[in-house]
Every structure is written in structure tokens, then in C-alpha cells.
A = this chain, B = another copy of it.
Amino acid sequence: MNNTSQRPKVVIVGAGFGGIFAARTLEKKPVDVLLVDANNYHTFTPLLYQVATCALDPSEIAYPIRGIFRDSKNVDCMMGRVVSIDRAARTVTIRVGEREVVESYDYLILSAGSVPTYFGNDHLRANSFELRTLDDAVKIRNHILRQFEQAVWMPPSVQREAMATIVVVGGGPTGLETAGALYELYNHVLGPEFGVDQTLPVRVMLVEKLEELLRPYPDKLSQAALDQLRSLGVEVVLGVSVEEITNEIVRLEDGTEIPTRTVIWTAGVKAAPAAEHLGVELTLGGALPVTDRLSLVEDKRIYAVGDNAYLEDPQGQPYPMLIPVAKQQGILAAKNILREIEGAKRQAFVYHDRGIMATIGRSRAVAWIYNRIPMRGFTAWVAWLFLHLLSLMGFRNKLNVLINWTWNYLTYDRSVRVVLD
């Protein structure tokens, strides 16, 4: 499988949305592509919270990378971790199992995504769950189910209540969606099965440091999200930050202590450490500053996209760490490489912002279409459903994913409540 052709070689680090769309753009083009990722699958991250809350199976949102590029002879896949990058020699060293493999490149695209950040308070990490990877989601699922299986056999106590209390930190889309889905899991599935209604009070709490949810979006939307979360039953605490997390309590800035054994941290992300191998200056968030052509200021052969890249929009605001940005940048980076090879002029990045949406449990959602049209409630939820089904289908025509998801979602059933390590 080693490259012996004389065609330019593009190495893509990371098979998230940026990397996958870059590779797709280079399919069947006169380049050889090597797509490197630590996993052998791409994760459809918008639905991670549905795995964490027992609605979907891990494999339903994980697409084997080799399967995606099965028909593209010029795209090769490697399961490994980048150990170092040598810009002078133009090589990437990758650990594959027990061995190290050195691959040369003519162009490099860094699309390694992001990891959670605790904004300097790294002591908060030890007792927090995260929700960035499939492993994270499975861990949360197993943990929550185990807490219930244990709590139900305990005499009433603060400790027992702590086992049935979940605190979600962060009022962005992930926090909202997770808190909403958890509450429904409790209410519609675990409640009836464990008989918790009578003896075991369940709590889902969402804590956000800022005074409102979904911050960069209009007040109307934030308010709608807040109303819908509260009407569902989620306790929302705004304007207070988290000071300490032990395996028994969460302490807030104002001194409040919430007994809980499950804290899910969704408060922020920073660029994944892949960029550190390059020996160039990074932003505070660990991202690589790129030109509007998406290549590094220092090195035209190296592109960074998505959460790995730092680029400001015409108003001087950095582009948000969102999937559409990663996807559009991945495509442009690939196109710019092809243009460069053909001797054509590279294009500048222009973001096509279609807005955001977040779902808050069944039939509840907020959306801000094209940043002009606000939607809420059932209409927003149907729009969300439709869009995600479309995206899923775009990846692979998986009949069973579609059916399973719709089925679970519509019937209130959670088929995947299996504790499996």
C-alpha cells in the first residue's frame, strides 16, 4: 500500500468533518491521499449525546473510514497517532500499533479537531465526564446505568440521591441536548423500569457560567431554550461557575453544593494537540493561525482546518468551532491544494453560515436558520430531525440507522441501555 507513484501526496491528519470532506474532495483527483486517524472510524459527533443517553448504538454514528473510501483507489487510510512532523524533510511520523511509520508528504492538512478545556482549572477534570468521543459517550452510558442499578437497592440517603443526580456543565448546544436527553431517559425509560418515581428523586441540572444559554445567539433564542429546558424538568442555574468537582459533590462559586456522582463537562473546547508538533506559534486556544487560503503563515504546504485553525472573519471575529466551518474549510483546503498543483490561484475562505440548531428533548428545539429566521418548539424540532437524517444519509445509505433512530425516537424506547465495557 505504500506510495510509489510520482503524484503529489497529501497527508490528512484527523478524520473528523474537516478531514473527511478534504479527502472526499481529493477522491479520484491526480493526488495520492493518506488519511490518518487514531480511530478506524469517523464519528458523527452531533449525535454523541444520543449514544450517551441510550438512544443510539455506538456503531450507528461511527462510520468505518475504509468503508467511506472503499471505492477511491487514491485514498488510503491509516489507523495511528501522529508522533512528530518534520517540516524540513516533509515527513510525518505515525505510531501504528507497536511500530512507527514515516510517511512523506507534499501537502499536509491538519484537521485533528478539539479536546475539552477546563479554562486553566484542570483539577475539575479528574471527576468529570466528557462528551467528545464515542468512548466518552459509552462511558457515560455505562456509568449512569450502573448508578441506577446500585441506587435502587440502597436505603434512602444523600449518597443515594447523588447517584440519581446529573449535573451538566455548559449551556451550549451540547449541554442543552445532553441535559434534555438525560431528563427524558430518566422520565420515560429508567423511571418506569426502576420504579424511581416513588422512592428515588431524579435530578438533571444544567450549570452555565454566563447569564444566558447559547451565548452568541439572539436573546430570543436563549430565552426559548431556557423556557423549554425548564418546562421539561431540567433545573437550570445561570451566571454561576463551577468551583470544585469531587466524586461526591459539585460546588458552585456561590457556595451551593450539589450531591452528585455524575458531572458532564461540555463547557468548552480547545484545539487538539496535533498542532504542537509543528514548531510554530499557536493561539491561546492551541490553534494554528492560517491565512485566508487556510495554509500556515510560515508554510504554504501545510493547511489547518476546523478547530485546528485560527482565522478571523471580515468583522475580526474568529470563526466558531462548529462542524460547518470544519467541513467548508476541509473542502477549500483540498481545492486550494489542487489549484496549487495545477498552477491556478488559490481562493480565500468565505463562510456560508446556515445558522445553528439545538434540540431539547422530544418535540422541543431551537433554531436560527441562516442567522435570520428564529424557530422554536415543534417546528424547530422537525427541522432538526430532517437535517440530521439528511446528513446521516449523506454519509452512507444505512437503512437500519435511519429506522433504528426514528423508531427509538418516536416510540420513547431506548434499546441500547446495556452496560458493556
Contact = CB atoms under 8 A, between A and B. Distances in A.
Nearest to A40: B419
Contact of A150 (B58, B97, B199): B97
A215 interface: no
Contact of A66 (B150, B194, B415): B194
Interface in A135-163: 135, 138, 145-146, 149-150, 152-154
Interface string A200-212: 0000000000000
Secondary structure type dominating chain A contacts: mixed
Contacts of A403: 399-400, 403
B150 A96 contact: yes
Interface centre among A66, A195, A398, A421 (most CB of B within 10 A): A66
A26 to B, nearest CB: 18
B64 A152 contact: no
B96 A153 contact: yes
A216 interface: no
Interface in A374-421: 398-400, 403-404, 407, 415-421
B62 A59 contact: no
A79 interface: yes
A145 B40 CA distance: 9
Contacts of A1: 152-153, 194-195, 199
Contact of A415 (B59, B70, B80, B418): B59
A67 B149 contact: no
A62 B420 contact: yes
Contact of A404 (B98, B99, B400, B419): B400
A134 interface: yes
A278 interface: no
A214 to B, nearest CB: 31
Nearest to A200: B1
A97 B160 CA distance: 12
A57 to B, nearest CB: 5
A316 interface: no
A262 to B, nearest CB: 14
A83 interface: no
Given A59-B415, A79-B419, A418-B41, A96 B64 contact: no
A342 to B, nearest CB: 29
A122 interface: no
Contacts of A58: 57, 418, 420
A101 interface: yes
A192 interface: yes
B153 A67 contact: no
A64 B417 contact: yes
Contacts of A237: none
B417 A67 contact: yes
A242 interface: no
A272 interface: no
Interface string A1-32: 10000000000000000000000000000000
Nearest to A145: B40
A78 interface: yes
A84 interface: no
A70 B192 contact: yes
A135 B420 contact: yes
A152 B66 CA distance: 13
- Closest 7 CB pairs between A and B? A97-B150, A79-B149, A400-B404, A66-B193, A62-B418, A59-B416, A41-B418
Given A57-B59, A99-B150, A101-B153, 15 more contacts: A1-B199, A39-B419, A40-B145, A40-B419, A59-B418, A64-B415, A80-B149, A80-B153, A97-B146, A97-B150, A134-B420, A135-B420, A135-B421, A398-B415, A399-B403
12 contacts: A1-B153, A40-B145, A41-B418, A57-B59, A59-B415, A62-B420, A67-B417, A70-B192, A80-B149, A99-B154, A400-B404, A404-B404
